[in-house]
């Protein structure tokens, strides 16, 4: 896939990136900053001292097993779960200190598409457009409904929709404000293969326009296909971080194999290393005990 060229003008933190193909000028500093983020529930630490940044034009993937802390991190970034320690910023705005400014800069796709069942798809999308003050909202809604082949269902109550149709409405509601940042939690759940491919291409196109996508997924082929950089988490700790090449170098895994196989090997190597370290620690503790 052809990537859009991004020209950096000005300083890296404060300057502006000019994207010649689109004429867009976006901030070139990190669009997402997670600094020493820690989340504890009582004595249980869900995420510990996590730090990463995402720059414009990137699709950044958070990977990990169940309970790794991916959703907890995403929920802190979108203002759903308050950090126990650390800072989370979107486009320079602290999500918990400047919530209104921060929330105006991102669209969010949650893992479960809970919506108002008694609204029609068009009414819900208009409500979202009003909250985000989207210009020319009706035409944009028509365009997105057409894109996801939902035009015929636009006037129907959402309670009559299938899981996949609801997920599409959620995706439209996140894309409608055309925010510089898109934060996505498990985007493909419930989508048919056609829609899944559309969404994959959408994310790539979104980042290629100089915007930023942060996504969590269990689908390693998806992550490998679309992500520019990755963080692999396990039980709230970072096991590995970087581009595919950097992760390969870190884990000593060879490139190649069938599509997606490479990331799978990296992922399991990181998990195995962590489990081996954990076992060694336990043995050491048992020996000391």
Partner 1 sequence: MSSGPHPTPASDLPGQRPRNQTGQRPSLLRLKWLSLGHSFRRAPKWGYLLVGGLALLLVWGEIYGTWKALHFLGSFGDIGTNVFGRVLEIGLITLSSGVTFSATTAAIQTLYLSEDLNFLLTQPLPTRQVFGLKVFETFLNTALVPTFLMLPLLLTVAVYFAAPWWAYLVIVGAALLTFAAPVGLGALLAVGLMRVAPVGRVREVSTALGVLISAALVYVIRAVRPEVLIQKMNDPAKFEELLRNFASPSSPLLPPSWASQGIWRAAHGQLAPSLLPLLLLTALLLGGATWLATRAYQEGWARALDSSTPRLDPTPRRASATELWFADLGPAGSLAYKDLRLTLRDPTQWSQLLIVVALAGVYLVSVRAVPIPVPQFRGILGYIQLAFQGFIVSGVATRLAFPAVSTEARAYWLLRTGPISPRQIVLSKYLSVLPVTLVLGMVLGVVSAHSMALGPTLVLLSILVSLSSAFVIPALGVGLGAAAPRFDADNPSEIGVSPGGLAFMGLSLLYSVLSLLLLAKPATASVLRPELFPGYSALSTPEGVLGLLGLLLVTVLGVWLSLRLGWTRLDALD
CB of 256 to partner 1, least distance (A): 28
Q: How far apart are CA 259 and CA 206, in angstroms?
A: 23
Q: Which of 15, 98, 132, 273 binds partner 1 (CB under 8 A)?
A: 132
Q: Which is nearer to partner 1, 42 or 289 (CB)?
A: 42
Radius of gyration over alpha carbons of the chain, in Å? 20
Q: How far apart are CA 8 and CA 157, in angstroms?
A: 46
Where in 181-261 does DSSP place strands (E)?
181-185, 212-216, 229-234, 237-242
Contacts with 181 (C-beta within 8 Å, 6 or more apart), sequence order: 31, 32, 90, 91, 105, 106, 107, 211, 212, 213, 214
Q: Assess 216 for contact with partner 1 (CB under 8 A).
A: no
Task: Using DSSP, state whether 268 is helix, strand or coil.
Answer: helix
Task: State the binding string over 172-211 for partner 1 (x if CB under 8 A, else -).
Answer: -x--------------------------------------
Q: Which is nearer to partner 1, 65 or 160 (CB)?
A: 160
Segment 29 to 88, residues that bind partner 1, using CB under 8 A: 78-82
CB of 74 to partner 1, least distance (A): 10
Q: Which stretch binds partner 1 (CB under 8 A): 13-21, 96-104, 203-211, 276-284?
A: 96-104
Q: Assess 94 for contact with partner 1 (CB under 8 A).
A: no
Strand partners, 39: 47
Q: Assess 97 for contact with partner 1 (CB under 8 A).
A: no
Contacts with 263 (C-beta within 8 Å, 6 or more apart), sequence order: 220, 221, 223, 224, 230, 244, 247
Strand partners, 106: 181
Residues 171, 188 contacting (CB under 8 angstroms): no
Q: How far apart are CA 275 and CA 143, in angstroms?
A: 48
Q: Which of 97, 130, 243, 275 binds partner 1 (CB under 8 A)?
A: 130
Q: Which stretch binds partner 1 (CB under 8 A): 3-11, 131-139, 228-236, 250-258?
A: 131-139
Contacts with 212 (C-beta within 8 Å, 6 or more apart), sequence order: 31, 32, 54, 55, 56, 57, 58, 59, 60, 180, 181, 182
Q: Which of 55, 120, 212, 253 binds partner 1 (CB under 8 A)?
A: 120
Q: Which stretch binds partner 1 (CB under 8 A): 17-25, 43-51, 149-157, 208-216?
A: 149-157
CB of 145 to partner 1, least distance (A): 8
Site of interaction with partner 1 (CB under 8 A): 78-82, 99-100, 103-104, 108, 110, 112, 114-116, 118-120, 122-123, 126-128, 130-132, 138, 141-142, 151-157, 159-160, 173
């Amino acid at each position: 896939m052809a990537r859009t060229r991004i020209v950096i003008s000005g300083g890296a933190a404060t300057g502006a990136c000019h994207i010649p193909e689109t004429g867009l000028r976006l901030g070139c500093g990190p669009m997402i900053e997670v600094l020493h983020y820690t989340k504890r529930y009582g004595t249980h630490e869900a995420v510990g001292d996590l730090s990463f940044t995402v720059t414009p034009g990137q699709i950044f993937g958070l990977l990990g097993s169940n309970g790794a802390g991916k959703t907890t991190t995403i929920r802190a970034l979108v203002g759903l779960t308050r950090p126990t320690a650390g800072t989370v910023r979107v486009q320079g705005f602290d999500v918990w200190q400047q919530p209104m400014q921060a929330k105006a800069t991102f669209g969010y796709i949650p893992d479960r598409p809970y919506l108002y069942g008694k609204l029609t798809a068009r009414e819900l999308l208009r409500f979202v457009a009003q909250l985000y003050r989207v210009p020319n909202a009706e035409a944009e809604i028509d365009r997105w409904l057409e894109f996801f082949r939902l035009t015929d269902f636009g006037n129907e109550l959402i309670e009559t929709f299938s899981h996949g149709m609801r997920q599409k409405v959620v995706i439209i509601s996140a894309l409608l404000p055309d925010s510089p940042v898109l934060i996505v939690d498990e985007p493909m759940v419930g989508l048919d293969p056609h829609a899944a491919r559309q969404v994959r291409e959408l994310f790539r196109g979104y980042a290629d326009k100089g915007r930023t996508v942060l996504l969590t997924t269990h689908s390693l082929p998806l992550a490998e296909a679309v992500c520019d950089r990755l963080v692999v988490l396990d039980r709230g700790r970072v096991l590995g971080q970087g581009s595919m090449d950097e992760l390969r170098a870190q884990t000593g895994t060879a490139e190649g194999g069938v599509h997606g196989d490479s990331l799978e090997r990296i992922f399991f190597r990181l998990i195995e290393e962590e489990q081996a370290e954990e076992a060694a620690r336990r043995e050491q503790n048992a020996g000391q005990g």
